[in-house]
Amino acid sequence: MKLHREGYLIMAIAFVLLAGVHVGNYFLYQSLGWTWLYALLTVAEIVMMYLVVQFFRVPNITPVFGEYDILCPADGKVVVIEETEENEYFKDRRIQVSIFMSPLNVHANFNPISGIIKYVKYHKGLFLVAWHPKSSTDNERSTVVTQHSSGKEVLFRQIAGAVARRICYYVEAGQQVKTGSEYGFIKFGSRIDLFLPLGTTINVKIGDVVKGRITKIGELTKD
């Protein structure tokens, strides 16, 4: 496991602040002599630091996939599987698969297929809760479209939530990417939407807990 570079500054700030809290806690203990309070606050400080650090963890995983496989781009839970209209890029009917990411999930995001990046766009927006029906179109978000070697295109969208306040992505149009390689990071609870071609085989169902770079979301058709 490694810690993501997006978290270095936040972890350092958290450490300094919690170290200051601990110094205050120690002097309070010296003044009042309440061992139980000192122990309670110390445990709270450790838990808080652990939560900050675990948010930026990135497990060491070697993706295993077939040529047409669509790997899960993020850890979380499947909250939407439906046929819908995609109006930003395709402007036609697609299969939408949405994954909700809680603050306890790994928040690095990974390319679901191999291919060439055809489209990248960042949108400013609101910070509705990530499961809100309009979060996909109204919230701060980024949209990426990758064209597979078969010619089929997959759109995936990072969506900020009520807590998430920064979306990071590291790809650009024309770039060649590989399934399971990192393409972005969302800071604190959020959501990923995938828009897949009609006819795509879907291997997950609503309510499934999925893992980035491990779970097979589906498979593109070979025709």
Structure-token pair, residue 28: 């309070």
Catalytic hit among 114, 136, 142, 190: 190
Contact 204, 82 (CB under 8 A): no
Q: What is the pLDDT of residues 46-90, one digit of tens each?
A: 999 998 898 889 999 999 999 999 999 999 999 999 999 999 999
State how beta strands 141-147 and 216-219 pair.
unpaired
> Residue type at 123?
H
Band (175; pLDDT cuts 50, 70, 90): very high
Q: What is the pLDDT of residues 82-124, one digit of tens each?
A: 999 999 999 999 999 999 998 889 989 999 999 999 999 998 8
> Residue type at 73?
P
Q: Is the pTM of this model over 0.75?
A: yes
- Kindly provide the residue ranges of all beta strands, DSSP E only, lying in the chain, ordered along the sequence: 2-3, 57-58, 69-71, 76-86, 92-101, 108-110, 115-123, 141-147, 153-160, 166-169, 176-177, 182-187, 190-196, 201-202, 209-210, 216-219
Please say if 190 is a catalytic residue.
yes
pLDDT for the residue 107? 87
Q: Which of 119, 117, 111, 139 is nearest to 127 (CA)?
A: 139
pLDDT for the residue 205? 98
Band (187; pLDDT cuts 50, 70, 90): confident
Q: What is the pLDDT of residues 194-210, one digit of tens each?
A: 999 999 999 999 999 99
Query: Measuring CA to CA, how many Å separate 96 from each of 12, 100, 123?
Result: 38, 13, 19
Does residue 130 register a pLDDT over 60? no
Contacts of 12 (CB under 8 A, 6+ apart): none
Task: Assess if CATH 2.70.70.10 describes domain 69-219.
Answer: yes
Helix (H, G, I), strand (E, B) or coil at 193: strand
- Domains of the chain, by residue range, sit at 2-58, 69-219
Q: Can you say how many angstroms the Cα of residue 106 is from the centroid of all Cα atoms in its chain?
A: 7
